[in-house]
Structure 1
């Protein structure tokens, strides 16, 4: 009986690991040059992926991040609920121009959480490790080369 229970617990743990791995690795990945450095970004373009974002991640290595792509007319609003790490939030318009930067945004351990709003409709939000925007010299008005991404139509939902 004990061996059978151990086998079931092992299977549940394995399944849990697969589900967690899927939740963090199924996203399309892209490589972009930001401030002269290569970044490998996860691309979140559907509502579930945007909602999950980097929530629950214990670390975000340098040279990595997540790029959120929003439908036309969206005024992005990001919060840090259920986050463990601090991030830089870079809001970018549909042509790749930085519209706003929220540097070193801390996690929100308890409600109410601050919401980081765009001032206007924007297409992208880039999340990178805290301190990255300053280190790379990113600034409002700067145009980022998003490659063929700006040629893709925005998500429909």
Structure 2
């Protein structure tokens, strides 16, 4: 009987250690970022506006950690690149520029794949919240000033394989 109890106690301690290590690992994964993340998988995304069809090569931020780090600590963002944050379900998107070193245009994409709102030239390192003001299925970060320069506006259509998969 004593061996049975010791076995149960040992199993509980082992399980507690494993669970504790798992919890610790997930906490570490969401710790405060200190450096830019590696380049994420990319796809082409197009915005169709009155001024034409504008194609960008965007990184796909799918996981909570990728979304947390975003464009932080990067020193450049080419005008033809960006980052697409894909939300599991439509939700209000609140972004900020903490540890982001370059100005960004933040484009909020509605579930119908149209641009719902644009925050132009978000200020680097700002902690101010930038809101979609309603549910969106994705958020796109582009180099600051790109949307104005290309004539991209609210209501324009966004086309991307990842958005089509969500429909």
CA deviation after TM superposition for structure 1 residue 149, in Å: 2.2
**Kept in 1: contact 2:111–2:137 (CA 8 A):** yes
Q: Structure 1 residues 152 and 95 mapped into 2: Cα distance closer, same or farther (>3 Å)?
A: same
Which of 122, 130, 153 aligns to 1:116? It is 130
Three-state SS of the structure 2 residue aligned to 1:65 is: strand
Which of 80, 91, 109 aligns to 2:108? It is 91
Match of 1:67 in 2: 84
**Kept in 2: contact 1:95–1:150 (CA 8 A):** no
CA distance in 1, matches of 2:114, 2:105: 16
Richer in strand (by share): 2
1:144 is the counterpart of 2:144 = no
CA deviation after TM superposition for structure 1 residue 108, in Å: 2.1
Q: Deviations over 1:22-50 (max 9, x none)?
A: x322x220012235233111011111100
Three-state SS of the structure 2 residue aligned to 1:31 is: strand
Compute the TM-score of the two structures, normalised by the length of structure 1: 0.75
Match of 1:31 in 2: 44
Give the number of aligned pairs.
129
CA deviation after TM superposition for structure 1 residue 151, in Å: 2.9
Compute the TM-score of the two structures, normalised by the length of structure 2: 0.71
CA deviation after TM superposition for structure 1 residue 142, in Å: 1.6
1:46 is the counterpart of 2:63 = yes
CA distance in 2, matches of 1:92, 1:36: 16
Three-state SS of the structure 2 residue aligned to 1:119 is: strand
CA RMSD of superposed structures (Å): 1.8
Structure number with larger C-alpha Rg: 2
Q: Structure 1 residues 54 and 116 mapped into 2: Cα distance closer, same or farther (>3 Å)?
A: same
